[in-house]
Amino acid sequence: MISRTITTIKSNKISSFNKLSYCTNGNNRNINQNEKSKIKTGILMLNLGGPSKLEEVEPFLTRLFTDKEIFKLPFQKYTGTLIAKRRTNAVMKLYEAIGGGSPIRKWTEKQGELLSEMMDKISPETAPHKHYIGFRYSDPLIADTLDEMNKDNVERVVAFSQYPQYSCTTTGSSLNNLWKTLEEKQMQSKFKWSIIDRWQDHQGFINATVHKINKAYDQFNNKYKELNNNNNNNNSDSSISNNNNNNNNKLNGDKPVLVFSAHSLPMSTVEKGDPYPQEVAETVCRVMDNLKIRDQETGKPLEYILAWQSKVGPLPWLSPKTSFVIEQLAKKGRNAIVIPIAFTSDHIETLSEIDIELQHLAKNCGMKLLVRSESLNDDPLIISAMADLVNTHLKSNKTIHSHQYQLKCPGCKDDSTFCRTILNPIQPSSQI
């Protein structure tokens, strides 16, 4: 949902670096205590969030459905609260099925810890680095995180969107909320800010995604062979006609279709000019350009399609729906590898919507095999990609990562005061 509600690598070198960085004699330790406690570079990881426990589901949904930048409802505060209350029990059951809560905070913490450690190693001049989490609808919320950064005496902060592709409903909403909260807390000039607002075409992100697809393809082939072997054993006494039918299905079924699945968006938002659909498509094209898997018979790349999941409500959203694509592929005797292309870690959209609901649908429609490509989570490749993004950004001394950030959607009529802005940037506005 915006939803359905939307390796640890610690090398000896990194650990040694951290220890050496703070080795001082006794006198220096006392004299420089204030300097050592200051965080030179904060990395604020922005994301939607998710309830870690079942009792957090209703507050999460309430914040979600009362956000005017996501849903436009009459009497928003009242109707949004009512919708959240009515959906709570059903959504709680979904979270129960995946272990009692969303793992998004756990994965973001791991990513942030590994990212900060790597940044201390590759960019000592901007160290020490510390990651902070700023979720939009669940703890830790932006307001609390800003207080934590204030206590840590952070000098400058990189607002790092964890959505690779930009949308006003995700990155835009998180940044607007950040600037609004800073103003409400009268902390406008407390930190120097810069933004990594999108990274849909970053080569490290592409490489990490390709790596996961390769693993999924190997998994698909192994499972497919196993299914065929079991099927052959079970039908060893079948007629020649049945064997011929099985062979025909095999010729079609052993070539999976790659189904790239991203969170959907209301068409009313798309029609205003939101850049999300084309940026997701750009990621898919870059992945396919870098993917070296080829059909063994034809030498051609695997077939692929971009689909959209997590639609909420009766109004038109982006299509085709991921579930519709799976239904149609099943009717044609095809199998699929589903790739979550707009999510950097596991949460309810992957663990419930794809792993449980979509698998159930595929089975009921007669699909022989559906495999999901693993989420990026704490894979070393995505940590390296994030570190490269932050390091390159810091060294560039640019305030905004993408020139597109300041371009407002042409169809927006009720812009937030803070839309496409930045408070207290590291560079004057004329140099942004």
Residues marked active site are found at 202, 388
Q: Which tokens sit at 300?
A: 């051609």
Which phi and psi (to 5°) does residue 420 adopt?
60, 30
Please state, in angstroms and rounded to a whole number, the distance separating the CA atoms of residues 428 and 432: 7
Please state, in angstroms and rounded to a whole number, the distance separating the CA atoms of residues 65 and 121: 41
Please state, in angstroms and rounded to a whole number, the distance separating the CA atoms of residues 147 and 153: 10
